[in-house]
Structure 1
Amino acid sequence: MVEKLISISLKNRAIVLLLAAALFAYGVYSIQKNPIDAIPDLSENQVIVFTEWMGRSPQVIEDQVTYPLVSNLQGIPKIKNVRGTSMFGMSFVYIIFEDDVDIYWARTRVLERLNYAQRLLPQGVTPSLGPDGTGVGHIFWYHIDAPKMDLGEQRALQDWYVKLALQTVPGVAEVASFGGFEKQYQIIVDPVKLQYYNITLMDVMNKIKANNNDVGGRKFEMSNMAYIIRGLGYIKNLEDIENTAISNNNGIPVRVKDIGSVQMGGDLRLGIFDMDGKGEVVGGIVVMRYGENADKVITGVKEKMKEVQKGLPEGVLFKTSYDRSTLIKAAIESVKGTLIEEMITVSIVVFIFLFHWRSALIILIQLPISVAAGFIFLEMFGISSNIMSLTGIALAIGVVVDDGIVMVENAYRHISHAQELKK
């Protein structure tokens, strides 16, 4: 069989060369299409359901949120396992699917079941799906260098400008903010004054919520003109909250400033982000969407950051904290360097021992075609180009070189022996 295949190949050299060229071209196409990353993704095929119910103990969260969700999500098809975790004010449910399940099909099934499970949860508690990323999806970290801005202003800039812009980059699942203070209006209530005016804390909360609202009216016609009537009630500063009426005392309105004080402060936080021991910074973590090309996504994020930079206040700059593309480029350069070194070494060895440049040319053609064919199989089986797969290709180059030298030397020996017999 092998002899027939060799004989057919020798008789149809043009066809063999065309097939080799087509294989190499398809391999180059697979290299460009195959996702490139530094770290192989070995995480579970999972969907995360996150539920927040602040102020409740882990036991209450477990009984009223986590347990109902886990019980109802177990009926989804192609599930391997369902895990639940309860902590203070938060619940996490991890739905582990089989490896061959499409992640977006799984997210759709989980979302359908959550619509049913919603009625089993306490009023006002709404579960939500986590981002469609993986455990190794944190591909790019950055922080804001703004020496003239406090941590609250930096966090507001990150949450309401930078984050929203970077989330539009194709392949980005989420931009998670870290560091700084999330600004909030804080009302410090005097309990003695509440008792004096016979006002409850819930009355204060409900009145402030009701006053922080825009309301719509209807069209009003007068003198052949139509006017749209609407009520503007959104809170714009501290004074608006201080002057909000809570109740009345003998016909005199009781305002928020009569029962306490209002200030601008930061939300409760459980940690800080320190940069090189020089102080706190504010920034974000870019999470890549499942199955995307990490190098391409990082390039898109950097291009978007250049556009966002133009709209930042004077003196505010982006600083990179972690960039996986450096590791990706190093892995690619390692394979390229190995391939070039092997080709040069083999050419020298074959030419010295055989003194035949065409024999060396055969191996030089064989190496890039073999590597390109390897990427075809990577793309076919859905394996990304990462450190593990690229290292395997680099090691396989040595085996290909050894086989090529042996086969060329053997063919050269048989041809020389045949020519001697003819003499």
Structure 2
Amino acid sequence: MIGKLISFSLRNRMIVLLIAAGLFGWGIYSVSTNKVDAIPDLSENQVIVFTEWMGRSPQIIEDQVTYPLVTNLQGMPQVKYVRGVSMFGMSFIYVIFEDQTDIYWARERVLERLNYANRLLPEGAVPTLGPDGTGVGHILWYTLDAPGMDLGEQRAIQDWYVKFSLQNVAGVSEIASFGGFQKQYQVTLDPNKLTYFNLSVPQVMTAVRANNNESGGRKFEMSDIGYIIKTTGYLKSTEEIENIPITTQNTIPVRIGDIATVQMTGESRLGIFDLNGEGEAVGGIVVMRYGENAAEVIEKVKAKMQEVSAGLPKGVKFNIVYDRSGLINDSVNSVKTTLIEEMVVASLIVFIFLFHWRSALIIIIQLPLSVAIGFILLNTFGISSNIMSLTGIALSIGVIVDDAIVMVENAYRHLADAQHDEKSFL
């Protein structure tokens, strides 16, 4: 088989050269389109199910949330195993699929099971899927540089403006906010006043809920003009909450302000985000979608930040605290430089040792052609150009040169022996 292939190649040199040129061109195209990252993504093929049920102990979360979800998510096709973690007020389920499973097919299967499992959970516990990213998807961290602005206002800008804008960037799975205070209205009840007015906490909660809604009516026409009737009842200030009536005693209404203190404050936090020991900061984490090109996504996010900056309040700007593009460029450029140096040195050594330019040319041509074919295979199997894959290509150059030298030297020796035998015969 090999003899026939060699014979065919010798008789059809032009075809072989055209095939080699086509592969080299395809390889150049593959280099320009190959995904670039600093490190390979070796994380498991998993889908995360997150359930929040605040105020409950880990044991209650385990019994009423984690256990029902784990038992219902088991037995799905192509699932290796299911892990469950319970903590205060939160439950995490990690569904690990086989490596060849499509991640979005897996998310659909998990959603189908969750539709059935929802009826087994207590009221208020709603499971949701985690982002379609991986453990190495955190490609950029940023904070808001806002001198003179309190943490609550910074978090509001992050949650209601910056986050929604950056989430529209192609390749971004999620913008995870951190730091600051999430604004909320807090009603602090006085137990002595509750006893005096003979009221309970559920009554207060019911009164607040009933007075914080909006109801729709119907449409009617008058003078050929259509009017839509509705009642607007959303609470907009602490004064409106204080004036909510709970009950009536001796024709006198008992309001929220009579038995509680209402204030605008921040939600309770389990930790803070400190930047360089200089104080608290507010920002976000850009999580890349599964299988995207990290270098391209980072550039798109930075470009979007320039657009978003125009709409920020005066004096507020972005401060990038972690940017993987620097690590990507340094690591990939370092390996590429080593790769080029190896090709040049190997070519010189081959020419010096053989001292036959045609034989050396055959070996030298194989080096860039082999590298080009390597990038074709990287694109075919969805492998990014990272420090490990490029190092593997660099290490293979020595093997390619060794094999080529042995084959060329062997062919050269046989040709020399044949010529010597022919001269002796004559």
Q: Shorter-normalised TM-score: what interval?
A: over 0.9
Separation in structure 2 between the aligned mates of residue 5 and residue 102 of structure 1, nearest angstrom: 39
Separation in structure 2 between the aligned mates of residue 346 and residue 416 of structure 1, nearest angstrom: 25
Asked whether the equivalents of residues 331 and 390 of structure 1 are also in contact (C-alpha less than 8 Å), the reply is no
1:265 correspondence with 2:285: no
Counterpart of 1:103?
Answer: 103
**Per-residue deviation at 1:256?**
1.8
**Per-residue deviation at 1:357?**
4.9
Counterpart of 1:200?
Answer: 200
Asked whether the equivalents of residues 172 and 289 of structure 1 are also in contact (C-alpha less than 8 Å), the reply is yes
Counterpart of 1:390?
Answer: 390
Counterpart of 1:23?
Answer: 23
Separation in structure 2 between the aligned mates of residue 233 and residue 146 of structure 1, nearest angstrom: 34
Q: Mapping of 1:109-258 within 5 angstroms?
A: 109-258=109-258
**Per-residue deviation at 1:393?**
1.1
Separation in structure 2 between the aligned mates of residue 129 and residue 353 of structure 1, nearest angstrom: 62
Separation in structure 2 between the aligned mates of residue 96 and residue 343 of structure 1, nearest angstrom: 42
**Per-residue deviation at 1:149?**
1.2
Q: Look up the SS of the partner of 2:264 in the other structure.
A: strand
Separation in structure 1 between the aligned mates of residue 279 and residue 198 of structure 2, nearest angstrom: 46
Q: Bigger shift: 285-294 or 219-228?
A: 219-228
With over 3 angstroms needed to count, the CA separation of the structure-2 counterparts of 1:188 and 1:338, relative to structure 1, is: same
Counterpart of 2:292?
Answer: 292
Q: Look up the SS of the partner of 1:272 in the other structure.
A: coil
Separation in structure 2 between the aligned mates of residue 348 and residue 379 of structure 1, nearest angstrom: 30
Counterpart of 1:85?
Answer: 85
With over 3 angstroms needed to count, the CA separation of the structure-2 counterparts of 1:322 and 1:196, relative to structure 1, is: same
Asked whether the equivalents of residues 335 and 387 of structure 2 are also in contact (C-alpha less than 8 Å), the reply is no
Separation in structure 2 between the aligned mates of residue 235 and residue 358 of structure 1, nearest angstrom: 86
Counterpart of 2:49?
Answer: 49
Provide, for residues 270-306 of structure 1, a one-character-per-residue CA deviation record: whole Å limited to 9, x for no partner. 1111111111111111111112222222122111111
Q: Look up the SS of the partner of 2:233 in the other structure.
A: coil
- Give structure 2 stretches of 5+ with no counterpart: none
Provide, for residues 117-169 of structure 1, a one-character-per-residue CA deviation record: whole Å limited to 9, x for no partner. 11111123211111111111112111111112111111111111111111111
Provide, for residues 295-353 of structure 1, a one-character-per-residue CA deviation record: whole Å limited to 9, x for no partner. 22212211111111111112111111212222222232123212321233234334445
Counterpart of 1:317?
Answer: 317
Q: Look up the SS of the partner of 1:29 in the other structure.
A: helix
**Per-residue deviation at 1:408?**
4.9
Asked whether the equivalents of residues 204 and 246 of structure 1 are also in contact (C-alpha less than 8 Å), the reply is yes
**Per-residue deviation at 1:10?**
2.6
Q: Bigger shift: 344-353 or 298-307?
A: 344-353
**Per-residue deviation at 1:226?**
2.8
**Per-residue deviation at 1:25?**
2.2
Asked whether the equivalents of residues 342 and 401 of structure 1 are also in contact (C-alpha less than 8 Å), the reply is no
Asked whether the equivalents of residues 36 and 386 of structure 1 are also in contact (C-alpha less than 8 Å), the reply is yes
Counterpart of 2:336?
Answer: 336
Separation in structure 2 between the aligned mates of residue 130 and residue 181 of structure 1, nearest angstrom: 23
Separation in structure 2 between the aligned mates of residue 130 and residue 256 of structure 1, nearest angstrom: 39
Asked whether the equivalents of residues 346 and 360 of structure 1 are also in contact (C-alpha less than 8 Å), the reply is no
Separation in structure 2 between the aligned mates of residue 79 and residue 382 of structure 1, nearest angstrom: 22
- Code of the residue aligned with 2:168 in structure 1: it is T
Counterpart of 1:67?
Answer: 67
**Per-residue deviation at 1:418?**
6.6
Counterpart of 2:346?
Answer: 346
**Per-residue deviation at 1:412?**
5.7
Separation in structure 1 between the aligned mates of residue 49 and residue 225 of structure 2, nearest angstrom: 52
- Code of the residue aligned with 2:109 in structure 1: it is R
- Give structure 1 stretches of 5+ with no counterpart: none
Q: Look up the SS of the partner of 2:390 in the other structure.
A: helix
With over 3 angstroms needed to count, the CA separation of the structure-2 counterparts of 1:68 and 1:346, relative to structure 1, is: closer
With over 3 angstroms needed to count, the CA separation of the structure-2 counterparts of 1:166 and 1:13, relative to structure 1, is: same
Separation in structure 2 between the aligned mates of residue 291 and residue 319 of structure 1, nearest angstrom: 27
Q: Look up the SS of the partner of 2:280 in the other structure.
A: coil
Asked whether the equivalents of residues 186 and 262 of structure 2 are also in contact (C-alpha less than 8 Å), the reply is yes
- Code of the residue aligned with 2:8 in structure 1: it is I
- Code of the residue aligned with 1:190 in structure 2: it is D
Separation in structure 2 between the aligned mates of residue 335 and residue 404 of structure 1, nearest angstrom: 23
Q: Bigger shift: 172-181 or 252-261?
A: 252-261
Aligned length: 423
Separation in structure 1 between the aligned mates of residue 416 and residue 308 of structure 2, nearest angstrom: 69
- Code of the residue aligned with 1:160 in structure 2: it is W
Separation in structure 1 between the aligned mates of residue 260 and residue 106 of structure 2, nearest angstrom: 50
Q: Look up the SS of the partner of 1:77 in the other structure.
A: coil
Counterpart of 1:12?
Answer: 12
With over 3 angstroms needed to count, the CA separation of the structure-2 counterparts of 1:37 and 1:417, relative to structure 1, is: same
**Per-residue deviation at 1:377?**
2.1
Q: Look up the SS of the partner of 1:84 in the other structure.
A: strand
Q: Look up the SS of the partner of 2:81 in the other structure.
A: strand
- Code of the residue aligned with 1:248 in structure 2: it is T
Asked whether the equivalents of residues 186 and 262 of structure 1 are also in contact (C-alpha less than 8 Å), the reply is yes
Separation in structure 2 between the aligned mates of residue 2 and residue 220 of structure 1, nearest angstrom: 88
Counterpart of 1:58?
Answer: 58
Asked whether the equivalents of residues 37 and 295 of structure 1 are also in contact (C-alpha less than 8 Å), the reply is yes
Asked whether the equivalents of residues 346 and 363 of structure 1 are also in contact (C-alpha less than 8 Å), the reply is no
Q: Bigger shift: 243-252 or 18-27?
A: 243-252
Separation in structure 2 between the aligned mates of residue 17 and residue 389 of structure 1, nearest angstrom: 28
